[in-house]
């Protein structure tokens, strides 16, 4: 459950994360600069080609797209009735291209590679008080704590369900918050006990997907 | 001024949390290879353990490790004293086994190949090799504690302090972890409330209500502890 | 920022992710079911304050963007951020900051009602102020129409602001983290 990455060795997978992310942002900006159904349809074809090259399973792609697809229908209907059906098609095509590109990058790039890119991208911000290795350290901590917190949340949900309190958001949240704050002390002790110093620290070593 | 010896020295230490005094003028010199700390819940034994590597700085008195005062150079003390906590879940910081083992070494600013070499050696020694790229949250309780201990030992501290490392484990994993602790080359301070773990120790210190109630070889210390608890 | 601060920030980002576990609840007379997750914004701001709270949300958003399936329904990735509802998620960062900033200023006389107002200003207004124009832009919608679509979530968000305010007050009593 760590990430949505689908392992593979296609050309899209092998492209380094940095250029992929840059390309995604360039494309998402360019998409709003051009208009016309034919050009967006051509883009859709090109993206379909990229998916073919990446050899991704349809199921993963669809799962990520589904929530957005539900959105596309009302957007089209809205335009068809209120403005112009052609504008509806154009808008839907544009969003579809955007989402497909984003899903493509997400499914073909390792999480650790993305975080490495982020850490590198943050480096110029060092002069305005952003510490990239601290940021990288915290991102790793969040990834470690998510399963921990999810388990705590699940246990609390079960305990409150047994008492018939699982409909009460307060009965779920307050114990979870108290637990979190108690854990924070032990966790930060454990981090410092192993010699961590937030002021002078080497970049985090990552080797995972 | 005392000469710096290879030992941990606790002099006249008192510590309080708010109005509650958890340690009252404790004096101890620890130089043996195996020292056990026992005591009831709330006796101050966990607080005592945390003083040894500077996780807590005493309100009064001083703690020195090989002559280094925890108030003066806490970093140097932490480098010397490894600390293993009761709950491995609150001690594993990284999502992947190998990364977590490497964390302490990265903090020591060791070169990459040295880090890799030491990580490999520890993973192999503690039979975690096959788990090296596993997600830490998917390990069993015993595996998690093995990882937590490995992540401390990989830093090659001069002393190892363990605060009830077996309390949350099942019987089989308790035995396994105890075996690992027996094999540690460095001097060990083990906080526990299971007397069976301490039979072959050199010295046992019994804490009660913030002070040392008994101190000596296992037979005598345990006898006094059992009598006091009865 | 100390190690402890970093731990709090990471824990609140993780807590927001963990809230995806709680099932959406459906109060009577409310058209849309209420997803518990975005209560994390209000909690982070109310409990950690502006800087740490917004940082926690930034970590959460970054991890969603780079592909962790952390949103309710196991969604994540750049698609969610760039899509029609992306503005609502991106807004969590400034929203937590605004809540935290207000809470820090009102810390000494913090009660349920002013905390609720802070959460409504930061946790609801800021979110809508960014989310709605984003929705209108991506979906080529008129702003007025986008506002109308979004109003169905207001009752649920108000309920969440009340819950978050209660919870933050209870926590403040035992663990005051902003000015201990």
Size of interface A-B (CB pairs under 8 A): 88
Residues of A in contact with B82 (CB under 8 A): 193
Residue A87: phi and psi, rounded to 5, are -65, -35
pLDDT 10s digits, C62-120: 988 877 778 776 677 777 888 888 899 999 999 999 999 999 999 988 899 999 999 99
Q: Which two tokens stand for residue C53?
A: 């709270």
Domain ranges of chain A: 11-109, 126-208
Size of interface A-C (CB pairs under 8 A): 199
Using CA atoms, how far residue C2 sits from A93, A134, B84, B85, in Å, is 47, 10, 21, 21
C-beta separation of B35 from B205 below 8 A = yes
Paired strand residues for B204:
B36, B216
Residues in chain C: 180
Instruction: Look at A167 and B175; give whichever has higher pLDDT.
Output: B175
State the Cα torsion C90-C93-C98-C100 to the nearest 10°.
Answer: 150
Residues of B in contact with A141 (CB under 8 A): 93-94
Which of B94, B111, B117 best probes binding to A when mutated, by most A CB atoms within 10 angstroms? B94
pLDDT 10s digits, B40-83: 888 899 999 999 999 999 999 999 999 999 999 998 999 999 99
**pLDDT the model gives residue A60:** 80
Which of A137, A144, A150, A180 best probes binding to B when mutated, by most B CB atoms within 10 angstroms? A144
Q: What is the ipTM metric for this complex?
A: 0.90
* Cross-chain residue pair A187–B93, CB shorter than 8 Å: yes
C-beta separation of A23 from A104 below 8 A = no
Please indicate, yes or no, if residue C27 is contained in any of the structural domains.
no
C-beta separation of C9 from A138 below 8 A = yes
Please indicate, yes or no, if residue C29 is contained in any of the structural domains.
no
Residues of C in contact with A63 (CB under 8 A): 74
Question: Helix, strand, coil proportions of chain A in percent (round to 5)?
Answer: 80, 0, 20
Residues of C in contact with A181 (CB under 8 A): 8, 171, 174-175, 177
State the Cα torsion B27-B30-B35-B40 to the nearest 10°.
Answer: 20
C-beta separation of A106 from A13 below 8 A = no
> Which band of pLDDT confidence, cut at 50, 70 and 90, is reported for residue B84?
very high
E-strand ranges in chain B read 8-17, 20-30, 34-39, 60-65, 68-69, 81-84, 159-163, 188-191, 203-208, 211-216
Cα C103–Cα C109–Cα C113 angle in degrees, nearest 5: 70
pLDDT average, residue stretch C11-34: 76
Number of C-beta neighbours around residue A183 at 10 A: 19
| Subunit partners of chain B (3 or more CB pairs within 8 A) | A
Instruction: Look at B159 and A81; give whichever has higher pLDDT.
Output: B159
Please indicate, yes or no, if residue C180 is contained in any of the structural domains.
no
Whole-number Å distance between alpha carbons of C42 and C19 = 13
**pLDDT the model gives residue B225:** 84
* Cross-chain residue pair C68–A79, CB shorter than 8 Å: no
Please indicate, yes or no, if residue C146 is contained in any of the structural domains.
yes
Cβ of residue A125 closer than 8 Å to a chain C Cβ: no
**pLDDT the model gives residue C148:** 86
* Cross-chain residue pair A142–C170, CB shorter than 8 Å: no
C51: containing domain: 3-20+35-174
Q: Residue B97 above 50 pLDDT? A: yes
Closest partner residue to A194 among B90, B104, B133, by Cβ?
B104
Q: What three-state secondary structure class fits A51? A: helix
C-beta separation of A104 from A47 below 8 A = yes
Cβ of residue A67 closer than 8 Å to a chain C Cβ: yes
Q: Quote the pTM value.
A: 0.82
**pLDDT the model gives residue A209:** 42
Identify the closest residue of chain B to A111 by CA–CA distance: B95
**pLDDT the model gives residue A111:** 74
> Which band of pLDDT confidence, cut at 50, 70 and 90, is reported for residue B1?
very low
In a structure prediction context, what are the per-residue pLDDT tens digits for chain A, which is 209 residues long? 456 778 788 989 999 988 998 888 888 778 877 888 999 999 999 999 999 999 988 888 887 777 667 777 877 887 888 788 888 898 889 888 888 888 888 888 887 788 788 888 888 877 777 788 888 889 889 988 988 898 888 899 899 888 887 777 788 889 999 988 888 988 999 999 998 887 765 555 555 44
Q: Which two tokens stand for residue B126?
A: 């503690």
Give counts: helices (H), strands (E), chain B: 7, 10
C-beta separation of B186 from B157 below 8 A = yes
* Cross-chain residue pair C11–A188, CB shorter than 8 Å: no
C-beta separation of A31 from A101 below 8 A = no
Using CA atoms, how far residue A105 sits from A51, A62, B182, C155, in Å, is 10, 14, 50, 36
Q: How far is A189 from chain B (nearest CA, A)?
A: 6
Residues of A in contact with B115 (CB under 8 A): 205
Mean of per-residue pLDDT scores for chain C: 87
Cβ of residue C97 closer than 8 Å to a chain A Cβ: no
Which of B92, B95, B118 best probes binding to A when mutated, by most A CB atoms within 10 angstroms? B95
* Cross-chain residue pair C138–A174, CB shorter than 8 Å: no
Closest partner residue to C167 among A134, A173, A183, by Cβ?
A173
Q: Which two tokens stand for residue B84?
A: 């293993």
* Cross-chain residue pair B99–A207, CB shorter than 8 Å: yes
| B127, HSE (Cβ side, Cα atoms, 13 Å) | 7
In order, the DSSP letters of C33-85 are: PBPSTTHHHHHHHHHH-HHHHHHHHHHHHHHHHTT---BTTTB-SHHHHHSTT
Question: What domain count does chain C have?
Answer: 1
**Cα dihedral A42, A20, A124, A133 sign:** positive
Using CA atoms, how far residue A142 sits from A153, A167, B104, B209, in Å, is 15, 27, 18, 38
Paired strand residues for B69:
B64
pLDDT average, residue stretch B85-101: 90
**pLDDT the model gives residue C95:** 97
Q: How far is A99 from chain B (nearest CA, A)?
A: 29
Residue A45: phi and psi, rounded to 5, are -60, -45
In order, the DSSP letters of B11-74 are: EEEEEEETTEEEEEEEEEEE-SSEEEEEE-TTSSHHHHHHHHTTSS--SEEEEEETTEETTT-H
* Cross-chain residue pair A169–C25, CB shorter than 8 Å: yes
List, as own/partner pairs, every contact residues B128-135 make where C-beta atoms lie below 8 angstroms and the sequence separation is at least 24, other chains included.
B128/B97, B128/B101, B131/B97, B132/B97, B132/B98, B133/A207, B133/A208, B133/B96, B133/B97, B133/B98, B134/B96, B134/B97, B135/A2, B135/A147, B135/A208, B135/B95, B135/B96
* Cross-chain residue pair A144–B95, CB shorter than 8 Å: yes
Instruction: Look at A182 and C31; give whichever has higher pLDDT.
Output: A182
Q: Residue B149 above 90 pLDDT? A: yes
Give contacts of A 185-204 with C, CB under 8 A: 185, 187-188, 191-192, 196, 198
Q: How far is A58 from chain C (nearest CA, A)?
A: 16
Please indicate, yes or no, if residue C28 is contained in any of the structural domains.
no
CATH code of the domain containing C93: 1.10.1760.20
> Which band of pLDDT confidence, cut at 50, 70 and 90, is reported for residue B146?
very high
C-beta separation of B165 from B86 below 8 A = yes
Could you tell me the domains of chain B? 8-229 (3.40.50.300)
């Amino acid at each position: 459950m760590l990430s949505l990455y689908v392992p593979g060795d296609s050309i899209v997978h092998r492209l380094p994360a940095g250029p992929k992310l840059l390309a995604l942002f360039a494309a998402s900006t360019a998409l709003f600069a051009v208009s016309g159904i034919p050009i967006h349809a051509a883009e859709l074809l090109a993206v379909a080609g990229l998916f073919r090259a990446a050899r991704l399973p349809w199921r993963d792609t669809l799962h990520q797209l589904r929530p957005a697809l539900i959105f596309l229908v009302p957007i089209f209907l809205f335009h068809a009735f209120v403005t112009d059906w052609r504008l509806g098609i154009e808008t839907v095509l544009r969003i579809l291209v955007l989402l497909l590109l984003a899903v493509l990058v997400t499914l073909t790039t390792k999480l650790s590679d993305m975080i490495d890119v982020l850490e590198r991208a943050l480096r110029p911000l060092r002069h305005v008080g952003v510490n990239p290795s601290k940021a990288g350290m915290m991102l790793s901590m969040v990834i470690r704590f998510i399963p921990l917190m999810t388990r705590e949340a699940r246990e609390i949900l079960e305990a409150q369900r047994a008492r018939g309190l699982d409909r009460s958001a307060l009965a779920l949240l307050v114990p979870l918050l108290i637990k979190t704050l108690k854990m924070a002390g032990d966790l930060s002790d454990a981090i410092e006990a192993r010699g961590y110093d937030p002021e002078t620290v080497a970049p985090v070593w990552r080797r995972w997907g | 001024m005392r000469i710096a010896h290879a030992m941990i020295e606790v002099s006249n230490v008192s510590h309080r949390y708010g109005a509650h005094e958890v340690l009252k003028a404790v004096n101890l010199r620890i130089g043996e290879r195996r020292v056990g700390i026992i005591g009831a819940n709330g006796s101050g034994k966990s607080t005592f353990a945390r003083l040894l590597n500077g996780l807590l700085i005493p309100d009064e008195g001083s703690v020195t490790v090989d002559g280094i005062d925890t108030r003066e150079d806490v970093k140097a003390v932490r480098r010397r004293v490894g600390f293993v906590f009761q709950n491995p879940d609150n001690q594993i910081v990284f999502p992947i086994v190998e990364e977590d083992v490497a964390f302490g070494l990265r903090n020591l600013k060791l070169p990459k190949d040295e880090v890799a070499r030491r990580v490999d050696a520890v993973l192999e020694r503690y039979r975690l090799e096959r788990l090296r790229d596993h997600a830490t949250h998917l390990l069993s309780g015993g595996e998690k504690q093995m990882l937590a201990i490995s992540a401390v030992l990989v830093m090659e501290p001069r002393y190892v302090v363990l605060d009830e490392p077996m309390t949350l484990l099942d019987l089989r994993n308790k035995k396994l972890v105890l075996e690992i602790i027996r094999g540690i080359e460095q001097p060990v301070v083990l906080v526990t409330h299971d007397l069976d773990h301490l039979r072959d120790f050199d010295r046992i210190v019994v804490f009660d209500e913030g002070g040392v109630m008994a101190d000596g070889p296992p037979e005598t210390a345990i006898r006094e502890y059992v009598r006091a608890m009865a | 920022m100390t190690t402890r601060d970093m731990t709090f920030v990471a824990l609140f980002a993780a807590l927001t992710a963990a809230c995806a576990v709680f099932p959406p609840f459906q109060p009577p007379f409310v058209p849309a079911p209420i997803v518990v997750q975005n209560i994390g914004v209000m909690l982070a701001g109310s409990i950690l304050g502006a800087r740490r709270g917004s940082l926690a949300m930034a970590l959460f958003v970054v991890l969603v963007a780079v592909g962790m399936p952390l949103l309710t329904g196991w969604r994540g990735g750049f698609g969610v951020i760039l899509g029609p509802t992306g503005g609502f998620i991106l807004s969590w960062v400034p929203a937590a900051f605004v809540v935290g900033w207000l809470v820090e200023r009102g810390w000494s006389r913090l009660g349920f009602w002013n905390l609720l107002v802070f959460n409504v200003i930061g946790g609801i207004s800021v979110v809508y102020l960014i989310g709605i124009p984003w929705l209108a832009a991506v979906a080529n919608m008129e702003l007025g129409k986008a506002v109308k679509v979004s109003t169905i979530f207001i009752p649920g968000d108000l309920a969440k602001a009340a819950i978050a305010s209660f919870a933050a007050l209870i926590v403040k009593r035992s663990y005051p983290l902003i000015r201990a």
